Amino acid sequence: ADPQNPDVTVITPTSPMTPSTHGGRAKCLQRLVRLDLPVPRTVALSFAAVHDIAAGIMPDVPALLASFDEGALLCVRPSSQDPDWGGPGAILNIGMNDARYVELSDEMGADSAASLYMRFVQSYAIHVARLDPDTFDEIEDTGRDGLSAALQAYEEEAEEPFPQDPVVQLTEVLRSMARAWEGTTARLLRQARGAPADAGLGLVVQEMALGLGQGTGENGSGVLQLVDSETGLQQITGRYLSQSQGREALEQGTASLYLTRDPRGPSLEEIAPEAFAQLVAHAELMRVRLRAEMQIEFTIENGQVHILDGVRVQRSSRAAVRIAVRLADDGIIPRQEAVLRVEPRGLSELLHRQIAPEAVRDVVGYGVAASPGAATGRIVFSAAEAQASAARNEPCILVRRETSPEDIRGMHAAVGVLTERGGMTSHAAVIGRGLGLPCVVGAARMKFDLKRRRITTEDRRTLKEGDIITIDGTNGQVLAGAPEMIEAVLDDSFQTLMAWADEFRDIGIRANADTPADAATARNFAADGIGLCRTEHMFFDADRITPMREMIFADAPEDRQAALAMLLPMQRKDFTELFRIMEGLPVCIRLFDPPLHEFLPTDRAGLRDLAEALDLPVSDVTRRVEALQEYNPMLGMRGVRLGITVPEIYDMQARAIFEATLDASHDGDPVVPEIMLPLVSAKREVELIRTRIEAVAAEVRTRRGQDFTYRLGVMVETPRACLRADEIAPHAHFLSFGTNDLTQMTYGLSRDDAGRFMSEYVQQGLFGEDPFHVLDVEGVGELVATGVERGRSTNNQVTLSICGEHGGNPESIAFCRAVGMDYVSCSPFRVPVARLAAAHLAI
């Protein structure tokens, strides 16, 4: 045996043990022993010992028993490395037999003794002898008669009398718990909770404080903690039950006493004030010395307090933030530690409404979790109905096959969006995240019958227009009905924690923001600037889409000039507003990158409206729409290709940006706008556009008689741009990786159609994750790393960043930081998650 790591050891302040040899519970109990808390005598069995037991090699059980007082009752509990990995249930009252029953009847009363024995017989029967739990169904579970009946039932079922020898009892309990850990179900369960396949189990054998008896003092058991698990607020909470053991107080909640004084009924504080005061003092000591909010499990025996165990308090995300901040404020942990204790992903729970954890979920389908938060409303199938519903003050969920710019108003009016098609970067998803609107897309396994206005769910139920549904954009579920919700909270602790995170992080976090509302959200979440303003998104509103379409449709240069003249003041106003809201922080404006089809009407009514607006016959409009059709618009005349083909468009945008720069600088901090060219694949494209933009700048300077500076950059979102970044970088102040398109093009996988099979691919393990969600480090990442390295090689001043949706994903941020990017840019609502994730990386 290894003396440094004894397999069976009494827990003392100095007994050698670690969480990875004896498990977290054993280690925690040792800490409690070191604090001199009233912990009953405990023996720890190491992972190695338990492993041996499962293989049939028993430790010296008589010697183990001899560690305890003669006649003591014992309990055995699991001690896995991480308490979250679980383990077999505890077995209590080992050592109980006919002889002890007689003795205990004298000490504590016959009923209590019978009750103890009965509990042991039942749990031994079910968990150790593996008898059918029904065996005891008909038996009254109190008193002497009940006990005799239970012992008899055991004997009949097990075909042998109930074991009387404590050595046999303990041996069998240890064996059954060790084997349960090795079982397939237990292994799968713990692996699902993040445990490695070969995770070990330790066991702790503890002398019991009984919690039952008719003596003078109070008897019972319970749990106590100093904070509320849901809110994180300081409040003594827990459960206590007189005449109980183990977790009975939790299981039989209704019979329990209140802990603190309560008008609704008697409390432990009143019944046993001294014990209560001791418990609170112990919990406070544990908080300070174990540097965490702990839940204590305790038993009171004849008025004496015993601490059986301590575990970290279960907590919601909002409670986690409060608890961490207060521990740091109280000087118990440093700020870095507080920042590390909050899981970045969990923050999105705070930023959005959520389905209450205890609510019943009637799940009827699944899609891609495209924009977090949950929303409940009546089903509507068109943007117009959504607006009508909002006008009636009736929350609605907009259900579409997929969304297009025409749906924007409907999206604003709806509380959530559900689509049949699409993936993480399709229209509904991008806009949903921008608006902070919960969104589930690509729910293709439900049948969407838009004509008959109904949905057939995955379990073949029919949902009609007007029916109430709930979508959970955090996990992609679609639910029937209205489960209970909890509201978003951005309280002081949240702000404090975020401010601390900012002190530690070493990579910038900007927001993708297209509208003043987005920009305001970005500022609210303390983004370092705007990393991507998609200017075509500024034209999705109904009153603006028409001039945009006129511009797209114009054949003759003079028609186009007329349309552009209408667009110029709109853009100038947009940019001025953005600059003002951002108050001198950088704003990166991307010139038009419209996949043109997103702006074209899709149905007859739309064509007719457009014909009316353009004052043309429908047949003319139809013909032109057809002429503009592309086989693959995502790979067609997008981005800089449009800028090269119809240069007046980018000229107009550049002019609007420069004029807005002067207007906004006039009454605020000087603005240095950033202009970004999308979908570049060759350096000549950059050279050509750059020359024109310089000319526009010169002209605005002359006309306004004022100077300004600006930065010109390139979006690296085609594989070729990554490979040729060394040629492109000398012409750019910055390179921003557009990993949405880059992923699409690297995989040859349409971002709008991916939803159809992505969940299948992920389920079957073909892709570890949706690559539109988590950056594919191996493939797309290699292109990004190549682009970074080649870009820097010819321009070591160039600013590097990412602005695809991956910018808000913690793993992807780690990659971006590792390759040396200066900042990441993500949807405004993901900015807090990104700030915290970045801080974790730097600490």
Decide: is 741 part of the binding site for Mg ion (CB under 5 A).
yes
Q: What angle do CA 31, 33, 37 make, to 5 degrees?
A: 110
Contact 578, 828 (CB under 8 A): no
- Least separation in angstroms between residue 553's CB and Mg ion is 24
Q: From residue 769 to residue 798, what is the string marking binding to ligand PEP with x (rule CB under 6 A)?
A: ------------------------------
Q: Which two tokens stand for residue 568?
A: 């110029």
Question: Per 3-state DSSP, what percentage of the chain is helix, strand, and coil (rounded to 5)?
Answer: 50, 20, 35
740 annotated binding-site participant = yes
Listed residue (70, 25, 72, 31) closest to 45, CA to CA: 25
Contact 674, 587 (CB under 8 A): yes
Q: Looking at 533, 588, 803, 826, which residue is catalytic? A: 803
Decide: is 738 part of the binding site for Mg ion (CB under 5 A).
yes
Identify which range of 322-330, 506-514, 710-718, 755-763 contacts Mg ion by CB under 5 A: 710-718
Closest CB to Mg ion among residues 6, 595: 595
Closest CB to ligand PEP among residues 359, 777: 777
User: Rounded distance, CA 499 to CA 324, Å?
Assistant: 13
Residue 609 contact partner, candidates ligand PEP, Mg ion, none, CB within 5 to 8 A by sort of partner: none
User: Rounded distance, CA 403 to CA 381, Å?
Assistant: 11
Other CB atoms within a 10 A radius of the CB of residue 220 amount to 25
The single-letter DSSP state of residue 255 is G
Q: Give the end-to-end CA distance of the chain in Å, rounded to a whole number.
A: 40
Considering CB under 5 A, how many residues would be counted as binding Mg ion?
3
- Least separation in angstroms between residue 738's CB and Mg ion is 4
Identify which range of 15-23, 66-74, 518-526, 738-746 contacts ligand PEP by CB under 6 A: 738-746
Q: Looking at 427, 537, 731, 840, which residue is catalytic? A: 427
Residue 746 contact partner, candidates Mg ion, ligand PEP, none, CB within 5 to 8 A by sort of partner: none
69 annotated binding-site participant = no
326 annotated binding-site participant = no
Identify which range of 519-527, 568-576, 704-712, 734-742 contacts ligand PEP by CB under 6 A: 734-742
717 annotated binding-site participant = yes
Residue 598 contact partner, candidates ligand PEP, Mg ion, none, CB within 5 to 8 A by sort of partner: none
* Per-residue b or e along 125-161, where b marks 16 or more CB atoms closer than 10 Å to that residue's CB: bbbbbebeeebbeebeeeeeebbebbbebbeeebeee
309 annotated binding-site participant = no
Compute the chain's Rg from CA coordinates: 33
534 annotated binding-site participant = yes
User: Rounded distance, CA 40 to CA 27, Å?
Assistant: 15
Closest CB to ligand PEP among residues 169, 801: 801
Other CB atoms within a 10 A radius of the CB of residue 450 amount to 13
Residue 770 contact partner, candidates ligand PEP, Mg ion, none, CB within 5 to 8 A by sort of partner: none
Closest CB to ligand PEP among residues 488, 723: 723
Q: From residue 579 to residue 618, what is the string marking binding to ligand PEP with x (rule CB under 6 A)?
A: --------------x-------------------------
Closest CB to Mg ion among residues 219, 739: 739
User: Rounded distance, CA 532 to CA 537, Å?
Assistant: 11
For residue 803, indicate whether it is catalytic.
Answer: yes
Considering CB under 6 A, how many residues would be counted as binding ligand PEP?
11
Decide: is 403 part of the binding site for ligand PEP (CB under 6 A).
no
DSSP string, 658-700: HHHHHHHHHTSSPP--EEEE-S--SHHHHHHHHHHHHHHHHHH
Other CB atoms within a 10 A radius of the CB of residue 762 amount to 16
Identify which range of 32-40, 176-184, 319-327, 733-741 contacts ligand PEP by CB under 6 A: 733-741
Closest CB to ligand PEP among residues 176, 740: 740
DSSP string, 572-600: HHHHHHHHHHHTTS-EEEE-----GGGGS
- Least separation in angstroms between residue 474's CB and ligand PEP is 22
User: Rounded distance, CA 212 to CA 107, Å?
Assistant: 11
Decide: is 425 part of the binding site for ligand PEP (CB under 6 A).
yes
Kindly list the catalytic residues: 427, 803
Task: Name the site residues for Mg ion (rule: CB under 5 A).
Answer: 717, 738, 741
Q: Which residues belong to the annotated binding site for Mg(2+)? A: 717, 741
Task: Name the site residues for ligand PEP (rule: CB under 6 A).
Answer: 425, 532, 534, 593, 717, 738-741, 803-804
